[in-house]
Amino acid sequence: MNTFQAIDVSYLRPNRTIETILLKNSTFERILYVYNFEGTHFRVFESISDILKFFVDKLEPSISFDNEIQLEDYLGYIDL
């Protein structure tokens, strides 16, 4: 199981953020970015360029969730 923590939060608006998440397990570490839209939609990105593609080119990421519990379950078990 992975542990994870937000190491940075960028506020785009008061209820829209991009969190930089550090994922760790006993062997590996990985950084992911989570766009939190009003606490009701969470989109996961692997890089800054993926975030830019979302905002500029309107490309939806392949990983998204409708609540924080689903997001936390995903982060806890994703392969690093």
* pLDDT, averaged in runs of 10, over the chain (80 residues): 96 96 96 96 96 94 95 95
User: Which residue in this structure is represented by tokens 């800054």?
Assistant: 48
- pTM exceeds 0.75, yes or no: yes
Q: Three-state DSSP class for 2? A: coil
Provide the residue ranges of all domains of the chain, joining segments of one domain with +: 3-77
Q: Give pLDDT, residue 7.
A: 98
Determine the Cα–Cα distance for residues 34 and 72; give it in Å rounded to an integer: 11
